[in-house]
Amino acid sequence: MKIGPDRKLYITTGDATAPELSQDKRSLNGKILRMNLDGSIPEDNPFENSYVYSYGHRNPQGLVWMGDALYATEHGQSARDELNVIKPGANYGWPVIQGNEEKAGMETPLFQSGNETWAPSGMAAANGKLYVAALRGNAVREFDVEKNTTRPIITGLGRIRDVFVEGEYLYFVSNNTDGRGNPDEKDDKLYRVLLTNLNG
Ligand SMILES: [Ca+2]
């Protein structure tokens, strides 16, 4: 969940292992939802009297705004994880297309992981770059949307659940005690790093 620059609350919802619901605009599964802070439906949502902001998602996770654009991370079923630019009313394809597949009327991701698994979770933005926590990917990944490149910038700390930018720092949390990791004695931890140390 994130509150947007428009002071609306945005929520990512998974398909809850019922993929057909992602394409059903009457269902709240497999969607990005948008609501007023009092829980009511905004009058300018793309579908009348509906919380649905975008649909056709499998397991969307992190949200962040950079410039005028809203970005969302999403877990593929098997690899093919996605980073999408979210447009109101748009269809992100699941379960009809995934990864870099294309179909008229459906959106193909800005980035996708191919045969690799990132399991992207929380996301933050700073200085034109997106920073994404990767669980299975055991990293903080940087995405440069102008150069169309991605790389792991922090590794060796296990599963990373969430990231946050404040001021000149990037904060992130490991999640090795979630039952899928190999926790150290002192896991999990909250880390802080200077953004300027991540350049290059
Ligand atoms: Ca998709």
Digit-coded pLDDT (tens) for 170-180: 999 999 999 99
Distance between Cα 73 and ligand 1 center (Å): 10
Task: Say if residue 133's pLDDT is above 60.
Answer: yes
Compute CA 68 distance to the chain's CA centroid, rounded to the nearest angstrom. 16
Two tokens, residue 35: 């609501």
The predicted structure's pLDDT at residue 126: 96
Distance between Cα 46 and ligand 1 center (Å): 19
Q: Which is it for the CA torsion 150, 153, 155, 160, positive or negative?
A: negative
Reported as a pLDDT band with limits 50, 70 and 90, residue 200 is low
Distance between Cα 194 and ligand 1 center (Å): 33
Distance between Cα 66 and ligand 1 center (Å): 20
Average pLDDT, whole number, for the chain? 96
The pLDDT tens digits of the residues spanning 64-103 come to: 999 989 999 999 999 999 999 999 999 999 999 999 999 9
Residues that place a CB less than 5 A from ion ligand 1: 92-93
Task: Say if residue 136's pLDDT is above 70.
Answer: yes
- The structural domains of the chain, ordered by start, are 1-114 (no CATH), 118-200 (2.40.10.500)
The predicted structure's pLDDT at residue 45: 98
DSSP 24-65: -TTS-TTEEEEE-TTSPPPTTSSSTT--EEEE--SSEEEEEE
Q: Name every residue whose Cβ is closer than 8 Å to that of residue 111 and which is 6 or more positions away in sequence.
A: 82, 83, 143, 148, 150
Question: Percentage of the chain with pLDDT > 90?
Answer: 98
Distance between Cα 77 and ligand 1 center (Å): 11
The predicted structure's pLDDT at residue 198: 85
Distance between Cα 118 and ligand 1 center (Å): 15
Task: Say if residue 163's pLDDT is above 90.
Answer: yes
Query: C-alpha distances in angstroms, 106 versus 50, 71, 74, 94?
Result: 20, 16, 15, 9
The predicted structure's pLDDT at residue 103: 98
Distance between Cα 197 and ligand 1 center (Å): 33
Distance between Cα 147 and ligand 1 center (Å): 21
Query: Please, are residues 55 and 33 in contact by the beta-carbon 8 Å criterion?
Result: no
Distance between Cα 94 and ligand 1 center (Å): 5
Q: Is 198 exposed, middle or buried (0-12, 13-18, 19+ CB in 10 A)?
A: middle
The pLDDT tens digits of the residues spanning 22-72 come to: 999 999 999 999 999 999 999 999 999 999 999 999 999 999 999 989 999
